[in-house]
Chains A and B, each alone.
Chain A
Amino acid sequence: MFRQIDPRSSIPLYVQIADRIRIAVATGEMPPGGALPSVRHLASELRVNPATVVQAYRELEEVGVIESRQGAGTFVRELGQPKREAERQRLARRLVRQLLQEASTLGVTREDLEQALRVEMKVKPS
C-alpha cells in the first residue's frame, strides 16, 4: 500500500503519510475497524522518525478517521457511507487544486484544461 513517501517533496512527511492512510480508508483498502500498524513498525518500515508517524496518527485522529484504544492500538473508525463519500470529494478537490496550480505555472489556460479533460475522459474508460 505505502509507501513511496518523498522526503524531497515540500509536503511534510507526516502529511504524506496521513494522506496515504486517508486514501486507503476512503477506498476501503483499509477497512473500518481494521488495525493500523504500530508507530514502531511503521517508522521502521518507512525509515522515518517515529515522531513523524505519531504526528500523522494524531492528525488522523483529530479529523476522526482513526481512533486509538488504550492498550489495544490504533484502528480505523467506522465511517458511514456519507463520510466516506465526503473523503473522496475532498481528495478529488485536492487533485483538481494541484492541477490548477500546475496549469497556471505552465501557462495553461482554463479553456485548454477543460478541453483536455473532455478529451481524456472520453478516451479513458472510468
Chain B
Amino acid sequence: MSNAIETFDLGYRAGKHFEIRDLGLKVREGSIYGFLGPNGSGKTTTIRLLLGMLKPVRGTITVLGRKVPDEMARIMAQTGYVPERPHLYPYLTLEQAVRYHAAFYEGFDMAYAGEMRRSFGLPLDQKLSHLSKGEIGKLHMLLVLAQRPKLLVLDEPTDGLDPVVRRDVLSALLDFCSQGSATVFISSHLVHELERICDWVGVLDNGKLVVELPMQSFKNGIKRIRLTGAPSLVGDTPFVLLQRETTGTEQVWVVRGWQPPMAQWFEGVGAAVKEVVDLDLEEGFVELLRSSRAPVS
C-alpha cells in the first residue's frame, strides 16, 4: 500500500516564526484522511505546500508518487483541489465556468458534471457572482469530482455552509469515493463531520503533527478514567497520559492509546479504576490539544 501524499521533515516559515515544523504526513492511497486542527494551526499552509503554491524552507513532499514542485502539472492533472476561499471567475456563468474548467482536464466527465448539477439544483445561466455560498460550495465539489481525479485535496469544503448543503456535498463526495479508489485529504475543524467519513486522522496543532492514526484507533484509544489512589509521580505508562486532575477523593486521567488490559497497570501502582469513559472525537481532540499545549507535569 503506497502513500498518496508523503512529506518528510517539512518546514515552512513566512516571518520570524516557523509556521510548519517537522511535518511528516503519510496519507495512504485510497483512504479518506481527515486533517484536523484548530483555526490557525497551519492546515491551509500545509495544503498550499503540498500543492506547490508555497515553497518549503526544509523537507520533501511527494504527491501521487511524484516530487513537488518538480512535476506539478502532472500531479495537478490527477488532483482535484477545493481551496478555502472561492477562486473561480465571478463574471462567468455556471455553464461557462464548467466548460472553462473542463478544457484543462483530459478525463473530465461532462455527463457526470451534468448529473451532479441537476441533483444539486444549480442554475446553468447565472453568473457565479450571483450564486449563494452554498451553491458555490456545491459547484466546487462538482468541478473536482467531474475531473475523476486520483486525489482530492479539500480545504474546509463545507465551512460556512448550512447543514442541508453540507449533507449534499458530502453525499456527492462519498458517492464518488464508492465508485473507485480515490484518496481524499480533507481538512476541517468540524470534527463530527470528519468522524463519519474518515478512516484516518491527522491532528495538527501549532504547525506540528500531534498524532496520525486510523480513526477507529484514535477514537477507541482516548478515554477518561476515573480512579482512586493514583500515584502523584508517574513513570512509564503503557498509554499516553494527556491530562490529569484531582476532584475530591478521586482522580480523573485522560489517556490516549488505551487498551483494556492496561487496567492492570493501575493495580500495579496501587490505584483502583472506577470507570473508563469513552470520549467522542471532539472531546478527544480537545483533550489532545490541551495536553499538547501544556504537557502534563
Q: Are B178 and A50 closer than 8 Å at their CB atoms?
A: yes
Interface size range on B against A: 20 to 34
What 0/1 readout, one digit per residue, does chain A (47-71) give for beta carbons within 8 Å of chain B?
Answer: 1111110000000000000000000
Main secondary structure of the interface of A (DSSP, over half): helix
| Interfacial chain A residues near B32, Cβ < 8 Å | 49
Q: Are A49 and B198 closer than 8 Å at their CB atoms?
A: yes
* Known A45-B171, A49-B177; contact A7-B195, beta-carbon cutoff 8 A: yes
Please tell me if A27 contacts chain B, counting CB pairs below 8 Å: no
Please tell me if B263 contacts chain A, counting CB pairs below 8 Å: no
Please tell me if A26 contacts chain B, counting CB pairs below 8 Å: no
Q: Are B216 and A50 closer than 8 Å at their CB atoms?
A: no
CB proximity of B186 to chain A, nearest CB, Å: 11
| Closest residue of A by beta carbon distance from B279 | A10
Q: Are A48 and B197 closer than 8 Å at their CB atoms?
A: yes
CB proximity of A16 to chain B, nearest CB, Å: 11
| Interfacial chain A residues near B178, Cβ < 8 Å | 39-40, 43-44, 50
Please tell me if B71 contacts chain A, counting CB pairs below 8 Å: no
Q: Are A43 and B175 closer than 8 Å at their CB atoms?
A: yes
* Known A40-B178, A44-B174; contact A49-B278, beta-carbon cutoff 8 A: no
| Interfacial chain A residues near B271, Cβ < 8 Å | none
Please tell me if B101 contacts chain A, counting CB pairs below 8 Å: no
Q: Are A44 and B281 closer than 8 Å at their CB atoms?
A: no
| Closest residue of B by beta carbon distance from A48 | B196
| Interfacial chain A residues near B192, Cβ < 8 Å | 7-8
What 0/1 readout, one digit per residue, does chain A (1-14) give for beta carbons within 8 Å of chain B?
Answer: 00000011110110
| Interfacial chain A residues near B220, Cβ < 8 Å | 10
CB proximity of A101 to chain B, nearest CB, Å: 11
| Interfacial chain B residues near A126, Cβ < 8 Å | none
Interface size of A by CB at 8 A reads 19
CB proximity of B181 to chain A, nearest CB, Å: 10
C-alpha gap A105/B281 in the complex (Å): 23
Q: Are B199 and A51 closer than 8 Å at their CB atoms?
A: yes
| Interfacial chain B residues near A50, Cβ < 8 Å | 174, 177-178
CB proximity of B286 to chain A, nearest CB, Å: 13
Sample of 9 further A-B pairs with CB below 8 A, known A43-B178, A47-B170 = A7-B281, A10-B280, A12-B216, A43-B177, A44-B178, A48-B197, A49-B174, A49-B198, A51-B199
Interfacial residues, chain A to chain B (CB-CB below 8 A): 7-10, 12-13, 39-40, 43-52, 105
Can you give 24 A-B contacts (C-beta < 8 A)?
A: A7-B192, A7-B281, A8-B192, A8-B280, A10-B220, A39-B178, A40-B175, A40-B179, A43-B174, A43-B175, A43-B177, A43-B178, A44-B174, A47-B170, A48-B196, A49-B32, A49-B174, A49-B196, A49-B199, A50-B174, A50-B178, A51-B199, A52-B199, A105-B275
Interfacial residues, chain B to chain A (CB-CB below 8 A): 32, 167, 170-172, 174-175, 177-179, 192, 195-199, 216, 219-220, 275, 278, 280-282
Closest 4 CB pairs of A and B: A10-B278, A40-B178, A8-B280, A7-B195
